[in-house]
Chains A and B, each alone.
Chain A
Amino acid sequence: MTAPRPTAGRTFPPGTFSPRPGGGSPGRMLAAQAATEVRLALRNGEQVLLTLLIPVVLMVGLATLELVPLPEPRIAAVAPGVLALAVMSTAFTGQAIALGFDRRYGVVRRLAATALPRWLLVAGRLVAVLGVVALQMVLLGALAAGLGWRPEPAGLGWALLLVVLGCAAFGALGILLGGTRGAARGRAVATWAGVRLRGGGGIAIPLDRLPEPLAAVGAVLPSGALAEGLRDTLTTGDPPGAGPVLVLLGWTVAAAAIAVRAVRLR
């Protein structure tokens, strides 16, 4: 009592689909997802503009043109700010935009339907962010060195720690924004917030060069905290102050706590 069926033998030899289920190893799944997302970020023109071209132009422009009054050598004040901007572009603006569109195109649901557990889904995105940020740090660091930047070697390890904390804070904010808004609206908000944080957040201009109320606001923003923390530790070689670390941790915890409840798969 079965309906007539198309012959399947020629295209799909018998046994082709004999079940052999099972999930991939977590390491392999993590590597595959993170590598895919890094490739996508580097292939996307808008993302490359955001993560590399704008920081390069700012670095060269602020270091060589006297648009803003800065202490000499100008590059010592500029480089940490631009590195902080690069972290923000990738972890916040880039993630918010990418996640918004990924949700619209159903990829989060698609991947969740595989053996990829939810924690790996998030970990894959974070590893991809860290991968792109590592690339940015190497390229922008080399460019800054070429422009005469000589950071205090003792501060490099602390700077790395701050960059990771910055990725966490901006990444959590980016996921919160990209995971709760429609794609187009999320992109608009992410771009606007990026510009605000850049201008008022001590990225381009050190906080001590800003008028007092602006400086106070800048210090509690993640952008200001990251830029100032990097500037201090890379100039002096001393560990960063408690202020920037606590500000970054606070933003991470707050954004992650809301994101866990509010982020939707699609």
Chain B
Amino acid sequence: MSSSAPVVSVRGLVKRYGRTTAVDGLDLALDAGQVLALLGPNGAGKTTTVEVCEGFVTADAGEVRVLGTDPAGAPDALRARIGVMPQGGGAYPGVRAAEMLRLVAACSAHPLDVGWLTSVLGLDSCARTPYKRLSGGQQQRLALACAVVGRPELVFLDEPTAGMDPQGRRLVWELIGALRRDGVAVLLTTHLMEEAEELADLVVIVDHGQVVAQGSPVALTATTEQQELRFRARPGMDVAGLAAALPTGYGADEPIAGRYVVRGRIDPVVLSTITGWCAAQGALADDVQVARRSLEDVFLELTGRELRS
């Protein structure tokens, strides 16, 4: 595989289950050492796409290349090079956490130290607990350990932080950051905006099995001119006068007494105009906040749908 070819390349992927079209002409490309987040609501086709890339599901149409091979054609050779965290994990119901990790480690040639990984992922206290008695977060952390223990060059993480507490989520984010730093490509699915914004080099927003937008989190959230600035000041100031002081197209409002909103593209000149105008009214603009669009806003604009967890 040449270094310039993408690690994962999907073109025109279609997968149907009966009458339901789970994936409908999806394209994506992941380069080495990058983190790609497939973001979308439940039923958007994220898991199906990942399972096609892992060789568990065969595509009805389209071309899929993972590490230069067709995953459906030679899954065994491919799986020696990738790490997989299936949605909801997976283990023998009665197996102890550390025992399961040792088994998965035995399936790779140069595994990470199982004892270290168990301890760093906070699984020491439940290392001897049967899998079915682990909490959801513990099962998730074990599944993540199983995905990375074989030192893969590409990792698929299907909803890696589902069911985790905030500390667990932070730890997983830290681990994904370390994977990226060490040159491991990561394809993850999530319906958490915050997760995609925090981790991904590239966000691919999917809905109804199709890509509705893609780009870096910054590019996706900065594509609009529509921004807003909020501040607090003495109630009852003349908002029409404020709007008049700003360039045309800007709006100003006082939705709640003492709380003001200015809509339009916020740049340093606009900001200084606002604070200057307040000063001229004998008021101090306090608690000034510029709100950038979130991925959630982007998603709502593109699909008109709320993300559900």
Contacts and interface: CB of A to CB of B under 8 A. Distances in A.
Nearest to B130: A43
A115 B107 contact: yes
A115 B93 contact: no
B199 A102 contact: no
Contacts of B107: 23-24, 29, 32, 111, 114-116
Nearest to A103: B90
Contacts of A108: 90
Contacts of B184: 17, 19
B132 A6 contact: no
Contact of A114 (B99, B150, B178, B181): B150
A40 B95 contact: yes
Contact of A33 (B93, B103, B179): B103
B76 A115 contact: yes
A107 B92 contact: yes
Interface in A74-127: 101-102, 104-118
Given A12-B175, A43-B94, A105-B90, A17 B170 contact: no
A211 interface: no
B110 interface: yes
Contacts of A109: 56, 86, 90
B110 A20 contact: yes
A18 B179 CA distance: 8
A64 interface: no
B88 A106 contact: yes
A115 B182 contact: no
A22 B106 CA distance: 11
Contacts of B94: 40, 43-44
A17 B95 contact: no
B112 to A, nearest CB: 8
Instruction: Give the one of A4, A101, A112, A117 with max B CB within 10 A.
Output: A112
Given A21-B80, A29-B107, A107 B174 contact: no
Nearest to B109: A22
Nearest to B104: A114
A40 B219 contact: no
Contacts of A111: 103-104, 107
B194 to A, nearest CB: 11
B174 A11 contact: yes
Contacts of A110: 86, 89-91, 104, 143, 146
Interface string B45-89: 000000000101000000000000000000010011110101011
B245 interface: no
A6 B131 contact: no
A36 B175 CA distance: 28
A37 B92 CA distance: 9
B257 interface: no
A43 B84 CA distance: 28
Contacts of A71: none
A27 to B, nearest CB: 10
Nearest to A183: B93
A21 B151 contact: yes
A7 B174 contact: yes
A69 interface: no
B178 A8 contact: yes
Contacts of A3: 197-200, 216-218
Contacts of B146: 110, 114
Interface in A111-152: 111-118
A238 B109 CA distance: 48
Interface of B: 54, 56, 76, 79-82, 84, 86, 88-95, 99-100, 102-104, 106-110, 112, 120, 131-132, 143, 146, 148, 150-153, 170-171, 173-175, 177-184, 197-201, 216-219
25 contacts: A1-B219, A3-B200, A4-B198, A15-B182, A17-B184, A21-B81, A21-B82, A22-B109, A23-B79, A25-B109, A36-B92, A36-B103, A101-B93, A102-B92, A104-B93, A105-B90, A105-B132, A107-B90, A107-B92, A109-B86, A109-B90, A112-B79, A113-B54, A114-B79, A114-B84
Given A32-B107, A106-B86, A115-B80, 5 more contacts: A6-B174, A12-B174, A20-B110, A32-B106, A115-B108
Closest 4 A/B residue pairs (Cβ): A106-B90, A110-B90, A22-B109, A23-B80
